[in-house]
Structures are given as C-alpha cells and as structure tokens.
Structure 1
Amino acid sequence: MKIFSRNDEQVDFCPVRDVFERIGNKWATMIILTLGQKESPMRYHELFEAINGISQKMLTTTLKNLQDDRLIIREMFAEIPPRVEYRLSDKGLSLQPHLYNLAAWANENMRGVKQV
C-alpha cells in the first residue's frame, strides 16, 4: 500500500495526510487522549483544567473541529445553569488506541528524534 507518492495521480487524495491535518496538532490529540482517560463525559472547564497550556479560544476551536469531524460528541442539557458535556464518539474511541501507541512511541524515541 502506497501512502505517499509524488508520481501517483491521486496524490491530492491522501487519507493519511488528510487525517493528520485534522487531528495532528497537539491540542486535538491532547483532547482525545484526555477524554479517553475518563469513563464519564467531561465538562468544558474540566477539559480546560486537565490540558496544561491550552487557551480557552484554542480549546473552543479544537472542540468544534473535533465535533465537526465526529470524533467527539457535545451534549447540551437544558438546565439552569446550562450544562454541556463532551465525550468521545465511537469514531473517536476507535482512534484512541492508535494515539496512545503514537504517544508511547514518542516517549520512547523522542531523544533520537530531537536533541534535548
């Protein structure tokens, strides 16, 4: 199976590149991994507190993108005050073990990839 090829006529359609473009940033990955660590849904503030260094704007934007990609589910409850919870969708759950494997590989190999 070819993943990347300059001579391939379908180089503009590369599923790997397209998926990495959507989930390959650190915030999307961190949100998916964080949601995957909890068995129950998380509220916005819980996610914000759990992900070190993320801004509220970036969290909001990334949550919207992950929702658009159907990797997470946003559920709003008609309560006073309103309550919104986030959880992984089935597609997000299926992605989670691959991200864990990538994170494990990064932890084992980071010194060889980048001089620290």
Structure 2
Amino acid sequence: MTDNPYEASPERRAKRLAEATPPTECDARVERLVTELIGRVADKWTMIILEVLEEHKELRFTQLARKVEGISQKMLTQTLRQMERDGMVTRTIHPVIPPRVDYRLTPLGLSLGAAFCGVWIWAEKNLSEVEAARSAFDSK
C-alpha cells in the first residue's frame, strides 16, 4: 500500500481522507475554496456529472445531456463551464460540422470525486441509524 491517497481504490482513498485530522489553523483561501466547492458539489448536477464522466471517461455534450436525466441544456452548460473554470473538466472542441464538444474529468476532478466517496461510505455505514431517526421523527 502506498502513502499516496490517490493511488488506492476510491473507497480506500475516501476512508483515508475522511479519517485524516484537519489542520488546527486554516488558510483563509483554503477555507474559502472549501466553502465554494461544498456549495458547488452539493449542487446535485455537479455530483451527477462527476459520476457520469467518471463512469464513461469522455462524452460529447449531447451524450452527457442524455445521461444526466432532468438537466436542461442551459443548466448543463452552466455547470460544465463552472467545472471547467475550477479545473475539474477539460473541454475539447472538434472543428467539424456539426460542431462536436467532448468533456472529460481532469485528475483534479477525479480526485474530487474520490474525496466525496466518503459520503457514500458514511451513508452505507449509517443507513440504519438515519432511517431509524427519520422514522422516530416522522412518528411524532
């Protein structure tokens, strides 16, 4: 096993990242970035696009639109632009008619997806407890 958290399986990476001790002092720029990324990744479209691109490696805009059910063309465009700005996806424009644009996750996007695998691990581990709490709340 290596010390590089991005060389292990996504589940191992997520577990290692989730168990890491946060620094006692935080750079204000890092804190701002984390806040922005949580807001963006908590947006369901970004998470779904991350998942779809991880599964399919590279997709044309139209293929991506079909795989991300319920997203409008405008929202897909806005989300992809923001992800590209943040360095999570690359956009390749092919000079053909009709125009073809492909999207692919960058190593940065792949690592963000791996970091958020921790949420899946947490949900798997705590599903029964959350369901019990919801049931108790709903029965009041």
Instruction: Name the TM-score, length of structure 1 as normaliser.
Output: 0.77
- AA aligned to 1:28 is T
Q: 1:12 to 1:70 in 2, by over 3 A?
A: closer
Sequence identity percentage: 32
Q: Write out the 4+ residue segments of structure 1 that deviate beyond 6 Å after TM superposition.
A: none
In structure 2, relative to structure 1, the CA distance for the partners of 1:72 and 1:109 (3 Å cut) is same
Cα 1:58–1:104 change in 2 (3 A) is farther
Structure-2 change in CA distance of 1:81 and 1:11 (3 Å):
closer
Identify, as 1 or 2, the structure richer in helix.
2
Give the RMSD, CA atoms, in angstroms.
2.7
| TM-score, with length taken from structure 2 | 0.65
**Aligned-residue offset at 1:18:** 2.8
Partner residue of 2:54 out of 25, 36, 58: 36
Aligned length in residues: 110
Give the residue type in structure 2 aligned to 1:20: I
Deviating more after overlay: 101-110 vs 55-64: 101-110
Q: Which has the larger radius of gyration?
A: 2
Deviations 1:35-89 (A, max 9, x none): 00113x1011111111122121111110010011110000000111111000001
